[in-house]
């Protein structure tokens, strides 16, 4: 069987890595790159000895599928054009800038029987994969995702830039309807919210607290899952997992460690991006459902929009009260 031909649309900071990872896949062929910045497209194409295009519509004529790594505000149009041309699509997160746009892409992909995968890359994090089998009914989830400032991703608020990773993960493990959202956020540098906190309350009683910042002094990516019989801590950045389970009745015990067994499973050494792109290629070749579907991306964006709406309402109220 001939290799799957995949192109990359947008070869900026992250898109260059998509091109490199695709070029290394055994089941796929990097068939070209496209970018409105022609010198950049030419440079990346030369590195991998493939054709470059300044018009992505020309690239679409040469491929079976595309990885779309353009600014969020362009996701909808580029992905729509690719799907309309009959190409399978992996689009970086968030799926689009608005829920309405995401709904259109999901419907279009379904109508054409095409794969639409969303780049929620933490699903492929080896630490999360090691923890996943132990996360069964979380009652409280705490997520923190902070980074130093960079001007690269300031076209969208931090909720769409960073927090949406954790929204997707929470929705993956909490199989219950979201009932209440409260949130706060501030714009301090970019003109859009740079720091945000959200509290999600689900019908089954699970509470999730999320903090995201792109103006911090350090980089941190962690999640903690509290269950009735266990606690799971996940470090995405320095992949690691700690799983603690009760082995007795904790009531009346002064030293909790006496009734808790903890393990730190070995984490596989895998590259998330390469695993994500390999999975995308495999689901096309095998006719399987993507690990992160367009519907998954839509659900995460729906929650993100609710969070951003609550932030806006709170900030408008505070302005009136000052």
Per the CB < 8 A criterion, the answer to whether 140 and 226 are in contact is yes
30 within domain boundaries? yes
**Are residue 14 and residue 112 in the same domain, yes or no?**
yes
Q: What is the CATH number of the domain that holds 222?
A: 3.30.360.10
**Are residue 239 and residue 215 in the same domain, yes or no?**
yes
Tell me, what's the pLDDT at 137?
Answer: 95
Of the pLDDT bands very low, low, confident and very high (cuts 50, 70, 90), residue 1 is low
224 within domain boundaries? yes
Helix, strand, coil abundance in the chain, percent, nearest 5 = 40, 25, 35
**Are residue 253 and residue 185 in the same domain, yes or no?**
yes
45 within domain boundaries? yes
**Are residue 59 and residue 162 in the same domain, yes or no?**
no
- Assign 3-class secondary structure to 217-266: CCCEEEEEEECCCEEEEEECCCCEEEEEEECCCCCCCCCHHHHEEEECCC
**Are residue 183 and residue 54 in the same domain, yes or no?**
no
Q: Which residue has the higher pLDDT, 288 or 248?
A: 288
**Are residue 251 and residue 208 in the same domain, yes or no?**
yes
Tell me, what's the pLDDT at 267?
Answer: 97
Query: Rounded to whole angstroms, what are the CA distances from 212 to 23, 40, 81, 144, 237?
Result: 33, 31, 32, 6, 14
Of the pLDDT bands very low, low, confident and very high (cuts 50, 70, 90), residue 247 is confident
pLDDT 10s digits, 150-205: 877 778 999 999 999 999 999 999 999 999 999 999 999 988 999 999 999 999 99
Of the pLDDT bands very low, low, confident and very high (cuts 50, 70, 90), residue 116 is very high
- Reply yes or no on whether the pLDDT at 128 is more than 70: yes
Structure tokens at 200: 């999600």
Tell me, what's the pLDDT at 142?
Answer: 99
Tell me, what's the pLDDT at 186?
Answer: 96
Least confident of 1-15, 50-64, 121-135, 252-266: 252-266
**Are residue 127 and residue 192 in the same domain, yes or no?**
yes
298 within domain boundaries? no
Least confident of 50-64, 93-107, 237-251: 237-251
Tell me, what's the pLDDT at 257?
Answer: 67
Mean pLDDT across the chain:
95
Per the CB < 8 A criterion, the answer to whether 301 and 164 are in contact is yes
198 within domain boundaries? yes
Of the pLDDT bands very low, low, confident and very high (cuts 50, 70, 90), residue 2 is confident
Tell me, what's the pLDDT at 190?
Answer: 86
**Are residue 131 and residue 259 in the same domain, yes or no?**
yes
Per the CB < 8 A criterion, the answer to whether 305 and 99 are in contact is yes
Of the pLDDT bands very low, low, confident and very high (cuts 50, 70, 90), residue 260 is confident
Tell me, what's the pLDDT at 259?
Answer: 73
> Averaged over 244-273, what is the pLDDT?
83
> Averaged over 260-270, what is the pLDDT?
93
Least confident of 13-22, 144-153, 218-227: 144-153
What is the dihedral angle through the alpha carbons of 121, 281, 271, 16, rounded to the nearest 10 degrees? -80
**Are residue 148 and residue 235 in the same domain, yes or no?**
yes
pLDDT 10s digits, 267-301: 999 999 999 999 999 999 999 999 999 999 999 99
**Are residue 117 and residue 215 in the same domain, yes or no?**
no
Which domain covers residue 83, as residue numbers? 4-121+273-292
- Reply yes or no on whether the pLDDT at 253 is more than 80: no
Tell me, what's the pLDDT at 255?
Answer: 67
Number of structural domains the chain divides into: 2
Query: Which helix (DSSP H) or strand (DSSP E) does residue 185 occupy?
Result: strand 178-186
72 within domain boundaries? yes
297 within domain boundaries? no
> Averaged over 252-258, what is the pLDDT?
68
91 within domain boundaries? yes
Tell me, what's the pLDDT at 248?
Answer: 72
Of the pLDDT bands very low, low, confident and very high (cuts 50, 70, 90), residue 319 is confident
**Are residue 27 and residue 149 in the same domain, yes or no?**
no
> Averaged over 199-221, what is the pLDDT?
98
> Averaged over 238-256, what is the pLDDT?
82
Q: What is the CATH number of the domain that holds 106?
A: 3.40.50.720
Entry pTM:
0.94
**Are residue 181 and residue 70 in the same domain, yes or no?**
no
């Amino acid at each position: 069987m001939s290799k799957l031909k995949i192109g990359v649309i947008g070869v900026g900071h992250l898109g260059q890595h998509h091109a490199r990872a695709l070029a290394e896949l055994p089941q796929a062929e990097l068939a070209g790159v496209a970018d409105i910045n022609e010198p950049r497209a030419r440079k990346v194409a030369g590195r991998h000895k493939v054709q470059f295009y300044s018009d992505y519509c020309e690239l679409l004529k040469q491929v079976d599928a595309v990885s779309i790594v353009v600014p969020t505000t362009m996701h909808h149009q580029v992905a729509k054009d690719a799907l309309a041309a009959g190409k399978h699509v992996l689009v970086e997160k968030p799926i689009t800038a608005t829920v309405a746009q995401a709904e259109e892409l999901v419907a279009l992909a379904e109508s054409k029987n095409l794969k639409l995968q969303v780049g929620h890359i933490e699903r492929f994090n080896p630490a999360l994969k090691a923890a996943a089998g132990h996360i069964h009914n979380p009652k409280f989830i705490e997520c923190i995702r902070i980074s130093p400032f960079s001007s690269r991703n300031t076209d969208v608020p931090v909720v769409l830039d960073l927090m949406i990773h954790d929204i997707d993960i929470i929705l993956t493990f909490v199989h219950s309807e979201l009932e209440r959202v409260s949130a706060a956020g501030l714009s301090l540098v970019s003109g859009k919210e740079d720091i945000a906190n959200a509290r999600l309350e689900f019908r089954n009683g699970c509470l999730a607290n999320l903090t995201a910042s792109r103006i911090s002094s350090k980089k941190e990516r962690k999640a903690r899952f509290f269950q009735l019989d266990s606690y799971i801590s996940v470090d995405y950045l320095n992949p690691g997992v700690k799983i603690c389970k009760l082995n007795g009745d904790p009531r009346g015990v002064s030293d909790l460690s006496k009734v808790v067994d903890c393990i730190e499973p070995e984490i596989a050494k895998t590259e998330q991006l390469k695993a994500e792109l390999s999975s995308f290629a495999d689901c096309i070749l095998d006719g399987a459902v993507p690990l992160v579907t367009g519907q998954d991306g839509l659900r995460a964006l729906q929650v993100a929009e609710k969070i951003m709406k609550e932030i806006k309402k709170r900030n408008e109220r505070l302005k009136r009260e000052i």
